[in-house]
Every structure is written in C-alpha cells, then in structure tokens.
Amino acid sequence: MAKAEKTCFICTKCGAVHDKWYGRCKECGEWTTLEEQAVIKPAKKSSSPVPTAGVGAMRLSDAPDKGESEQRLRTNIPEFDRALGGGIVKGSVILLSGEPGIGKSTLLLQICDSLEDQKILYVSGEESFMQIKMRASRLGVVSDSLFVYCENDLEKIEAQIDAVSPDLVIVDSIQTVSSDRFSSSPGSITQVRECSGYLIGLSKRGGFATVLVGHVNKDGAIAGPKLLEHMVDVVLYFEGERGDSYRVIRAAKNRYGSTNEIGLFEMCDRGLAEVPDPSKRLLEDSPKNIPGSCPVCLMEGTRPIVAEVQALVSKTPFPSPKRLSSGVDYNRMAMILAVLEKRLGMRFFDMDVYLNVIGGLKLDETAADLGIACALISCVRDVPLSGKLIAVGEIGLSGECRSVGSAEARISESARLGFDTAIVSHRTKLKTAPDGMKIVRVKSVFELAEFLNGLKKV
Ligand code: TYD
Ligand code: MG
C-alpha cells in the first residue's frame, strides 16, 4: 500500500485540488463541495499512459502511416459507430456516462455480441455473473469470445486482463473499482481517478481498447473529478428523458473524430434498437390539423432531423404569466415572444405560454426560431398550419429572418419526408429546390405573419 504523506482537499464538483479546506471551491465557486483526501504517491506503473514515454522526440514523418480504418473495431451497430466517428479505435479509452437505468450496461452487452470476432473482457462491479447471464439471454447475446468477470479489485482485474489478453475491456462501472494501494474509500474521487489512470495506462501499453462506464450525479456531471474527462480519449454521454423510450448517444469529446454526430436508439423489450430514420419515427404520431404545431429541421452533426415543435398559449388570470419550455431554450423562447410582441403587436403579457418538442429532442439551434414563431402564431390565431409545411430560419431582434447553415440538406430531408412547402429566410442560398417543394422566402416576421394569414383564407 502506498503511504499517504499528507492530505489535500478536492472539490467533488469540478475536481480542483486545494491545499486546505475552504467553504467555497476557488475554482468553480460551489459551496461545501471540498472533500479531504489523502495525497498518494502514484504507483510507478501508472506514471504515464503514453506507451512511447521516455523514448525521446521522434520525427512525425517517420511514424508508420497506418490507415485509420484498420485500427478501428466496427461494432456493426451503425448508430454507435457514428457517434464514435467510425468505430472504436484500438488502444483508445472511452468513458460512457449516463444516469442509472438509462441502458449503459444493456448497450455494452449488445456491443459485445456484435463484436463477436474480438475477445472481450466484461468486468462488472455492480452485477453478479447470473444477473449478467440473465440479461444476456434476454438480449440474445451468445458470443463465444465474451469473458465476464465480476470483481471490484484493480489488481485482480489486471491479472485477468493479463490472462485473457482481450481486444476490448469493459469496466462497468469505474466507480466500483478500487485498490488497496490507495488508502481512500472505494468510490471516492482519489480511488476513481487513480484506478482510471492505472487502467488507461494498461490499455495504452497493451494496445487494447477500454470502455469505462461512469455514473452521473444529480447535477448531470460525471461523478468523480472532471479530470477523468481529460484523461480519456472519448467521452460519450448516453441521454434520454425519463418515461420516454428514445435514447441519444452523444460524443462530448473525441480525439479521433467529430463531436457533432449522435446515435439514436429506442429501448424495447429486447434491448436497444437503432432508429435509422429518426425524422420519420418522430413525425409518425403527430396530430393533424391542430393549431400551434410546426415541424422544424435540426442538424445533428451531418444528419438533418425533422422534429415537431408545439406551442400552447392560454389566457391567465394571474398577474405574472407562466412561461414553460421543454426542449427549447428558455431565453430563446423569451426572445421570440418579445420580437412577436414588439414587431407584430401580438399580446403575450397576460398569456401563459408553453413550448414543447416532441420526442424529448432539444432544439439548441437558432434554425428552429421560425418554426417556433409559426407554432406561436398558429396557436394564438387558432388556425392549424398545413401538415406539409416546414420552417427553417433564425429570427433577429429587429424581427428580420436570417439564413442558417446546411439549408439545402434540411430542405431535401423535408422533401423526402413529404413536406411540400418550406418557409426560409429570403437570404437562403439554394442551388436547386427539390421537386415538388415550394420555397417561401420571408424577410421578416411581418412577412411570415402575412404568409400565414394568407393560408387562413385558403
Ligand atoms: P441498464 O442497462 O441496466 O442501465 P444502466 O446500466 O445504465 O444503469 O438498463 C436498465 C433499464 O433498461 C431497465 O430499467 C429496464 C430497461 N430495459 C428494457 O427496457 N429492455 C431490455 O431488454 C433491457 C435489458 C433493459
Ligand atoms: Mg449498469
């Protein structure tokens, strides 16, 4: 066991290290988050995760030019590969985090099955062998090259890695792994950080990929220091609304690819199923001829996704009206309401306003502004929009409509899904419009309201 020389204070929120106790973390400003930890001399073996450490400087051009494709393990689950930028890179360390019960263990077991030609060591510190066996039979996992090891002790895990010599190691979860070498209690920040560092070192030296499962705490941050995110190569967040079957996997950091791409899954009775055509699925149940609803097109990485935004505006007897938004940024909603109020003379000051995006998606793009405005106008006037109309564009404070990126991709996706009218900014550059798609160009919210008025007369 390494000898604890002295203690330090680590913030449980941001991982900042302080030499003495403070009521408030000097780094993130959070109150009473400092926890006393022993300062441990790291074991020699875990000193550097870089396999070539100590070799000296090398000429970059002398490095062998290995094609990236041959270094990646393709999981045959395209939605997962897409989020990773094309599969798991050999020797890389991935941190997969998400709330309890979201489906992390389920997804990983399914990945084990789809990587059946690779040797995998699945280390579980949370479930027993029988529990995993039962889940595997439920999911139909029959891989011969999957080894399951239920253990919490770091040294025993290392021994099994040496014995099995796997291509991929899964540690479910990193918070349950501990070592006697570090004197703090299992699950503490020091244990999580040191055990992760050790496993990362093993992975880099051994050339096998590692997936560490990390729990998130109630604030949504990965429990344990933020440092963990700096140490790994890829950070994946597995997200989803409670009570909703859709699950989104999103890369927050990726040393081997873009962080824009997402993978979409649905939790079924036999595990996670991919959703290859998300827009179609999201629009399936949308009600027809109901005022206050308008489809918008978002870009999730390079993929356009059509989602429906719904607005409900109702008179309130109370002096301060309610503003509630789900899936739409609260400040963006307030801004659009203010623009409509000021530029179009619409009245919201005595109205409760609710905004919702179907399917638990989040509209974090300004391209949804026009759609939100259409939904609000339609609800206030109590006139349903045509089910085949879509709006793509940003709204500025003076009520002007601005163009957004990837307009062409958004409009072709909408055309594919059967939309026949697209409201866009007058500045939107389109080389060609898809067949049968009418492009309505508007300069301002005033022109938008006029166009929607015209629809009423039809
Ligand atoms: P799990 O993978 O254990 O979550 P995590 O590892 O993130 O804590 O998923 C558990 C949830 O998934 C559980 O509440 C039930 C649901 N589930 C299904 O709906 N269908 C299935 O086939 C499986 C295996 C789980
Ligand atoms: Mg689990």
223 and 290 co-located in one domain? no
In the predicted structure, residue 384 carries a pLDDT above the cut 80 = yes
pLDDT in tens, 241-297: 767 778 888 888 888 887 777 888 988 888 899 887 888 877 887 777 889 999 999
Burial of residue 302 (number of CB atoms within 10 Å: 0-12, 13-18, 19+): exposed
Return the pLDDT at 458. 36
Cβ–Cβ under 8 Å, residues 228 and 95: yes
Q: Looking at the CA of 100, name the nearest ligand.
A: 1
Q: Is residue 52 part of a domain?
A: no
**If you measure from the C-alpha of residue 172 to the centroid of ligand 2, how many angstroms do you get, rounded to a whole number?**
7
| Protein residue with least CA distance to atom 24, ligand 1 | 271
Return the pLDDT at 367. 94
Count: domains in the chain:
3
Q: Is residue 414 part of a domain?
A: yes
In the predicted structure, residue 49 carries a pLDDT above the cut 60 = no
271 and 307 co-located in one domain? no
| Protein residue with least CA distance to atom 14, ligand 1 | 101
Return the pLDDT at 401. 96
Backbone conformation region of residue 76, classed left if phi is above 0, alpha if psi is from -120 to 50, else beta = left
Cβ–Cβ under 8 Å, residues 298 and 409: no
271 and 298 co-located in one domain? no
Ligand 1 pocket, Cβ-based, cut-off 6 angstroms:
98, 100-106, 135, 138-139, 267, 269-271
Cβ–Cβ under 8 Å, residues 224 and 232: no
Percent of the chain with pLDDT over 70: 90
Return the pLDDT at 440. 93
322 and 257 co-located in one domain? no
Average pLDDT of the segment spanning 380-407: 92
Please report the atom of ligand 1 found closest to the CA of residue 109.
Answer: 2
Which helix (H) or strand (E) element contains residue 134? Answer: helix 129-139
**If you measure from the C-alpha of residue 105 to the centroid of ligand 2, how many angstroms do you get, rounded to a whole number?**
4
| Protein residue with least CA distance to atom 9, ligand 1 | 103
351 and 287 co-located in one domain? yes
Q: Is residue 413 part of a domain?
A: yes
Q: Which of 123, 127, 265, 267 to mutate to test the pocket of ligand 1 (most atoms within 8 A of CB)?
A: 267
Return the pLDDT at 1. 44
Q: Is residue 50 part of a domain?
A: no
**If you measure from the C-alpha of residue 194 to the centroid of ligand 1, how many angstroms do you get, rounded to a whole number?**
29
Please report the atom of ligand 1 found closest to the CA of residue 270.
Answer: 22
Q: Looking at the CA of 141, name the nearest ligand.
A: 1
130 and 32 co-located in one domain? no
Please report the atom of ligand 1 found closest to the CA of residue 104.
Answer: 7
162 and 248 co-located in one domain? yes
243 and 333 co-located in one domain? no
Return the pLDDT at 245. 78
To the nearest whole number, what is the mean pLDDT of the chain?
A: 86
Short-list 169, 57, 180, 163, CA closest to 124:
169
182 and 301 co-located in one domain? no
In the predicted structure, residue 94 carries a pLDDT above the cut 70 = yes
Please report the atom of ligand 1 found closest to the CA of residue 126.
Answer: 6
**If you measure from the C-alpha of residue 229 to the centroid of ligand 2, how many angstroms do you get, rounded to a whole number?**
20
Name the residue range of residue 106's domain. Answer: 73-276
Q: Is residue 191 part of a domain?
A: yes
Q: Is residue 458 part of a domain?
A: no
Return the pLDDT at 133. 93
How does DSSP assign 245-290, residue by residue? -EEEEEEEEETTS-S--EEEEEEETTEEEE-S-HHHHHHTTPPSS-
Return the pLDDT at 72. 84
The confidence band for 218, taking pLDDT boundaries of 50, 70 and 90, is low
Return the pLDDT at 225. 57
Return the pLDDT at 129. 93
**If you measure from the C-alpha of residue 89 to the centroid of ligand 2, how many angstroms do you get, rounded to a whole number?**
23
pLDDT in tens, 170-196: 999 898 999 988 877 777 788 888 899
What's 303's domain CATH number?
A: 3.30.230.10
Q: Looking at the CA of 107, name the nearest ligand.
A: 1
Q: Is 133 helix (H, G, I), strand (E, B) or coil?
A: helix
90 and 193 co-located in one domain? yes
Q: Is residue 56 part of a domain?
A: no
Q: Looking at the CA of 138, name the nearest ligand.
A: 1
Q: What gap in Å lies between CA 94 and CA 232, rounded to an integer?
A: 6
Q: Is residue 114 part of a domain?
A: yes
Q: What gap in Å lies between CA 296 and CA 276, rounded to an integer?
A: 19
What's 224's domain CATH number?
A: 3.40.50.300
- Domain end (from 225, 248, 276): 276
Least confidently predicted of 15-24, 37-46, 131-140, 446-455: 37-46
Which helix (H) or strand (E) element contains residue 44? Answer: none
Please report the atom of ligand 1 found closest to the CA of residue 107.
Answer: 2
In the predicted structure, residue 342 carries a pLDDT above the cut 50 = yes
| Protein residue with least CA distance to atom 25, ligand 1 | 271
| Protein residue with least CA distance to atom 8, ligand 1 | 101
In the predicted structure, residue 457 carries a pLDDT above the cut 50 = no
Return the pLDDT at 398. 95
229 and 311 co-located in one domain? no
| Protein residue with least CA distance to atom 12, ligand 1 | 103
pLDDT in tens, 74-93: 888 888 988 888 889 988 99
Q: Looking at the CA of 103, name the nearest ligand.
A: 1
**If you measure from the C-alpha of residue 289 to the centroid of ligand 2, how many angstroms do you get, rounded to a whole number?**
43
The confidence band for 374, taking pLDDT boundaries of 50, 70 and 90, is very high
**If you measure from the C-alpha of residue 396 to the centroid of ligand 2, how many angstroms do you get, rounded to a whole number?**
45
Burial code (b: 16+ CB inside 10 Å, e: under 16) for 48-78 equals: bbeeeeeeeeeeeeeeeeeeeeebbbebebe
**If you measure from the C-alpha of residue 100 to the centroid of ligand 2, how many angstroms do you get, rounded to a whole number?**
7
326 and 212 co-located in one domain? no
| Protein residue with least CA distance to atom 1, ligand 1 | 103
Average pLDDT of the segment spanning 410-428: 92
Q: Which of 106, 170, 248, 269 to mutate to test the pocket of ligand 1 (most atoms within 8 A of CB)?
A: 106
Please report the atom of ligand 1 found closest to the CA of residue 173.
Answer: 6
